[in-house]
């Protein structure tokens, strides 16, 4: 047991949770922290840093959920993070305690990392999770044998079944972690003189940490250039082969672990039988794809059917609120900004919470049940001919929610060419920001009719998502031909056991993602709504005064209330047309006219280049400006009322589909461009991406409009 | 007049937020070097 240090008494103790991927780390993290979570970035990289607070018996503990890793030999950026956090030189930055989570049925693999952590001299405790699965597979573990061999506290838990969680809380609260010191003497494979020199140079006290610095410090850009050069010179001077040393270390470590496992594991039954059950169906060469397609169809059907009721309520609520606020506040620009700019803008954000929560909920279920890994395996053979990798499926499926985490997930792909292709095509997947645009436009032009149990609107939505996939595959194929590399590629994916989803985790994901959408996208949408309202309400003063004067003159001559109403409406429309935003919209009208768009849609397109989700709030603002203050129509009703000079609806079938196709392909997200810039370290790829996606969007929308109109 | 001033402040705040959001990324978020593999 560790005696509480001064730092752990005076400040909140930091506990890092680490383990191999899919061992239940996040489930334990969620159970310990509940809603007290926040997501940030690790310094130096964009990998999500999930931290949370555990409150227990009047004390608080900071819990860090580290990315899954198999060893302290980082191969991907996620693993680099875990490596950096645990190898910190600064004691204040380093977690005081480390909770190592191991899948009870994969003991050897988990112990490999655990013994490396012991060698690093960390205060450690081991959690043997998924005890229920081990029991199901007839695997008995003598935890005392492991404790005897490693000398660190061991707990057996089933986090999904909420068994053993109080023991984890007690363990953290009592600081029942142990610093064993060493499992393997690294001096057996690396000259002690070299290790001592590194320890002296960097002020270390641990030989294994010195070895880690030798092995990875020279390529880690977080280490000062001067220090990296020093390590390089040392290694070159001694002509020492570190890769051979790593191989030797791995062999010795596994040999020792095998002895422990032989003593600790009572019985291990082959898992082949279990895998042949559900996998024979989900990975079937025909049924596997049929099931995958059916699952996608069910998701889209649910997004439409279940979300429509709360969406209609939210839409109606904001329309009514806009009218009420307009009545209550005194006339003036601020009142108009609230009623015509801010309220419709906020409404344009809040209305999509039900759909976004549902989409993320479904994605969480697919991930949590272990099905997503099967999709990676299933799709690999179809990805290869297009220059993609089985692992590209994860970025692409994540791209359905948002391209940003999707592009960041591409860092799991080791092959440079496949990674670049994945980054370039992921924004073509229909993200959740496109969903509001699709939903509004489909609702306007596609009848709400069903064929059997399949709804026509849901089918159209699915069609748009499939179109995104076609765009992905076509573009990837072209890039495969253009880009050249000699790197070889392979697929290695772990198929985790099938589990029932943890509903609390699903709910937490839905809550966190919706909150992020409202707070992040919402702020941008709100800021753009404010600016847009000003640009739509003001214009060159002389021209605006001229329009107002002409309107007043006509109004003075009006004979009937109907004529007066007609004149007010015409004047409002002319004021908008001559406003700053109207001038911008009309400037691009010649370019977008062949796509079936008028200058008002042009304004929405301009605003959407920052973030496509502002489309709905933009048109809501534009069509609210100068409208009847008592008019509390919903966004969809307002769009449906827009008529062209020739009498046809502005949002007819051809225009609506042309718009949907444009939004399906266009690069309209500055945040995505910023992430592509960060991931590729330059403007070359983001620029190529913007140009090709805009060209693709324009040409496809042109084709669709010309064919349908 | 008061309403105009409030609107002006709000517009400036909105502009400031957008400029900060899209043009001033913190250096701490720079990409990992592993991703810039040639």
Cβ within 8 Å, pair B29-A678: yes
Which parts of chain A have pLDDT scores under 70? 1-10, 35-49, 75-78, 89-93, 267-276, 300, 303-304, 348, 405, 409, 412, 414, 485-494, 517, 520-521, 610-611, 624-634, 671
Beta bridge partners of A347: none
Closest CA of chain B from A503, distance in Å? 33
pLDDT for the residue A625? 55
pLDDT for the residue B1? 74
Q: Does B19 touch chain A (CB under 8 A)?
A: no
Closest CA of chain B from A59, distance in Å? 31
Nearest neighbour of B33 by CB, restricted to A221, A333, A530: A221
Please choose, from the candidates A674, A535, A485, A566, the residue with its C-alpha nearest in 3D space to the C-alpha of residue A41.
A674
| Residue among A39, A41, A42, A46 with most chain B CBs within 10 A, to mutate | A46
Beta bridge partners of A126: A100, A154
Cβ within 8 Å, pair A531-B15: yes
| Residue among A39, A41, A45 with most chain B CBs within 10 A, to mutate | A45
With contacts defined as CB-CB under 8 Å, which chain A residues touch B2? Answer: 334
Instruction: Report the chain B residue with the minimal C-alpha distance to residue A672.
Output: B22
Instruction: Report the chain A residue with the minimal C-alpha distance to residue B3.
Output: A334
What percent helix, strand, coil does chain A show, rounded to 5? Answer: 65, 10, 25
Contacts of A704 by beta carbon, 8 Å cutoff, 6+ apart = A654, A657, A658, A661
Query: What's the distance, CA A285 to chain centroid?
Result: 29
pLDDT: is B9 or B24 the higher one?
A: B9
Instruction: Report the chain A residue with the minimal C-alpha distance to residue B12.
Output: A531
**How far apart, in whole angstroms, are the C-alpha atoms of residue A261 and residue A67?**
25
With contacts defined as CB-CB under 8 Å, which chain A residues touch B7? Answer: 333-334, 337, 534
Q: Answer yes or no: pTM beyond 0.80.
A: no
With contacts defined as CB-CB under 8 Å, which chain B residues touch A610? Answer: 18, 22
Cβ within 8 Å, pair B3-A333: yes
Q: Does B33 touch chain A (CB under 8 A)?
A: yes
pLDDT for the residue B26? 46
The phi-psi region of residue A158 (left if phi > 0; otherwise alpha if psi is between -120 and 50; otherwise beta) is beta
* Token reading at B7: 């609107």
pLDDT for the residue A581? 82
The DSSP output letter for A646 is T
The position carrying tokens 């002509």 is: A239
Q: Are strands A14-19 and A97-103 parallel, antiparallel or unpaired?
A: parallel
Nearest neighbour of A527 by CB, restricted to B17, B32, B34: B17
pLDDT for the residue A631? 53
| Residue among A334, A395, A679 with most chain B CBs within 10 A, to mutate | A334
Cβ within 8 Å, pair B22-A332: no
**How far apart, in whole angstroms, are the C-alpha atoms of residue A556 and residue A577?**
23
- Go through chain A and tell me how many residues it has: 709
Nearest neighbour of B34 by CB, restricted to A77, A680, A682: A77
| 3-class secondary structure, A142 | coil
Instruction: Report the chain B residue with the minimal C-alpha distance to residue A524.
Output: B18
With contacts defined as CB-CB under 8 Å, which chain A residues touch B12? Answer: none
Q: Does B20 touch chain A (CB under 8 A)?
A: no
> Is A442:A636 a contact under the CB 8 Å cutoff?
no
| Residue among A44, A484, A523 with most chain B CBs within 10 A, to mutate | A44
Please choose, from the candidates A403, A458, A401, the residue with its C-alpha nearest in 3D space to the C-alpha of residue A428.
A403
Q: How far apart are the first and last CA of chain B?
A: 59
Please choose, from the candidates A119, A140, A81, the residue with its C-alpha nearest in 3D space to the C-alpha of residue A253.
A119
Q: How many CB pairs under 8 A join A and B?
A: 82
Cβ within 8 Å, pair B14-A333: no
Nearest neighbour of B35 by CB, restricted to A411, A524, A674: A411
| Residue among A325, A423, A681, A685 with most chain B CBs within 10 A, to mutate | A681
Cβ within 8 Å, pair A46-B25: no
pLDDT, one tens digit per residue, over A101-154 is: 998 888 888 999 999 999 988 899 999 988 887 887 778 888 888 888 888 999
Q: Does B1 touch chain A (CB under 8 A)?
A: no
Cβ within 8 Å, pair A610-B37: no
* Token reading at A699: 């040409």
pLDDT for the residue A493? 67
Q: Does B34 touch chain A (CB under 8 A)?
A: yes
Please choose, from the candidates A604, A635, A402, the residue with its C-alpha nearest in 3D space to the C-alpha of residue A514.
A402
Nearest neighbour of B30 by CB, restricted to A333, A528, A678: A678
pLDDT for the residue A117? 92
pLDDT for the residue B35? 34
Which uninterrupted H or E stretch holds A65? strand A59-65
Q: A654: number of CA atoms within 13 Å, CB side?
A: 17
Tell me, what's the ipTM?
Answer: 0.77
With contacts defined as CB-CB under 8 Å, which chain A residues touch B37? Answer: 416, 419
Closest CA of chain A from B25, distance in Å? 9
User: What crossing angle do the helices spanning A522-537 and A599-608 adopt, rounded to 10°?
Assistant: 140
Nearest neighbour of A41 by CB, restricted to B10, B28, B35: B28
Closest CA of chain B from A509, distance in Å? 24
Instruction: Report the chain B residue with the minimal C-alpha distance to residue A678.
Output: B31
């Amino acid at each position: 047991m560790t005696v509480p240090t001064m730092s752990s008494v005076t400040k909140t103790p930091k506990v890092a949770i680490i383990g191999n991927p899919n061992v239940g780390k996040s489930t334990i993290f969620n159970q310990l922290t509940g809603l007290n979570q926040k997501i940030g970035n690790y310094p130096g990289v964009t990998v999500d840093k999930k931290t949370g607070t555990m409150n227990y018996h009047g004390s608080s503990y900071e819990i860090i959920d580290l990315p899954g890793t198999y060893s302290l030999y980082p191969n991907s950026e996620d693993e680099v993070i875990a490596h950096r956090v645990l190898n910190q030189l600064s004691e204040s930055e380093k977690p005081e305690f480390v909770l190592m989570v191991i899948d009870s049925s994969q003991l050897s693999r988990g112990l490999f990392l655990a013994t490396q952590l012991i060698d690093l001299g960390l205060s450690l405790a081991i959690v043997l999770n998924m005890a229920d699965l081990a029991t199901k597979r007839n695997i008995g573990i003598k935890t005392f044998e492991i404790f005897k061999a490693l000398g660190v506290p061991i707990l057996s838990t089933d986090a999904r079944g909420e068994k053993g969680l109080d023991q984890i809380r007690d363990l953290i609260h009592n600081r029942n972690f142990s610093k064993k010191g060493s499992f393997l003497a690294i001096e057996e494979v690396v000259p002690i003189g070299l290790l001592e020199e590194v320890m002296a140079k960097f002020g270390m006290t641990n030989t294994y940490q010195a070895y880690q610095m030798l092995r990875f410090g020279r390529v880690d850009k977080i280490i000062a250039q001067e220090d990296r050069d020093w390590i390089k010179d040392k290694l070159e001077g001694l002509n020492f082969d570190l890769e051979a040393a790593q191989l030797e270390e791995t062999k010795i470590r596994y040999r020792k672990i095998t002895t422990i496992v032989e003593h600790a594991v009572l019985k291990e039954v082959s898992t082949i039988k279990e895998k042949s059950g559900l996998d024979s169906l989900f990975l079937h060469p025909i049924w596997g794809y049929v099931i995958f397609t059916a699952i996608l169809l069910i998701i889209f059907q649910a997004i439409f059917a279940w979300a429509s009721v709360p969406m209609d309520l939210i839409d109606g609520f904001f329309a009514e609120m806009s009218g009420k606020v307009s009545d209550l506040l005194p006339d003036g620009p601020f009142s108009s900004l609230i009623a015509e700019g801010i309220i419709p803008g906020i409404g344009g954000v809040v209305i999509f919470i039900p759909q976004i929560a549902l989409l993320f909920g479904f994605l969480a279920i697919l991930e949590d049940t272990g099905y997503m890994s099967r999709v990676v395996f299933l799709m690999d053979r179809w990805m290869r001919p297009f220059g993609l990798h089985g692992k590209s499926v994860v970025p692409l499926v994540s791209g359905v929610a948002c391209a940003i985490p999707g592009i960041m997930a591409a860092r799991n792909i080791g092959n440079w060419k496949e990674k670049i292709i994945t980054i370039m095509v992921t924004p073509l997947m229909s993200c959740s920001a496109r969903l509001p645009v699709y939903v509004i436009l489909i609702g306007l032009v596609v009848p709400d009719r069903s064929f059997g149990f399949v709804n026509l609107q849901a089918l159209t939505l699915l069609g748009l998502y499939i179109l995104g996939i076609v765009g992905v595959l076509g573009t990837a194929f072209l890039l495969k031909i253009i880009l050249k590399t000699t790197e070889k590629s392979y697929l290695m994916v772990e198929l985790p056991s099938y589990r029932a989803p943890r509903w609390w985790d699903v709910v937490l994901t839905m809550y966190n993602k919706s909150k992020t959408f409202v707070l992040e996208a919402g702020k941008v949408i709100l800021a753009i709504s404010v600016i847009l309202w000003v640009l739509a309400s003001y214009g060159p003063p002389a021209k605006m005064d001229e329009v107002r004067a002409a309107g007043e003159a006509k109004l003075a001559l009006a004979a009937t209330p109907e004529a007066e109403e007609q004149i007010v409406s015409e004047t409002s429309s002319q004021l908008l047309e001559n406003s700053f935003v109207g001038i911008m919209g009309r400037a691009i009208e010649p370019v977008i006219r062949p796509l079936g768009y008028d200058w008002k849609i042009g304004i929405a397109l301009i605003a959407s280049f920052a973030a496509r989700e502002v489309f709905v709030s933009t048109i809501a603002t534009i069509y609210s400006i100068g409208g009847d203050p008592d008019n509390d129509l919903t966004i969809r009703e307002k769009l449906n009322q827009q008529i062209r000079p020739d009498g046809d609806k502005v949002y007819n079938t051809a225009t609506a589909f042309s718009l949907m196709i444009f939004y399906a392909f266009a690069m309209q997200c500055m945040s995505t461009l910023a992430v592509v810039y960060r991931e590729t370290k330059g403007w070359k790829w983001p620029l190529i991406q913007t140009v090709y996606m805009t060209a693709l969007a324009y040409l496809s929308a042109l084709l669709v409009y010309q064919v349908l109109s | 007049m008061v309403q105009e001033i409030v609107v002006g402040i709000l517009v400036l705040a909105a502009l400031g937020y957008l400029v900060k959001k899209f043009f001033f990324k913190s250096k701490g978020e720079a990409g990992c070097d592993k991703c810039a593999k040639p």
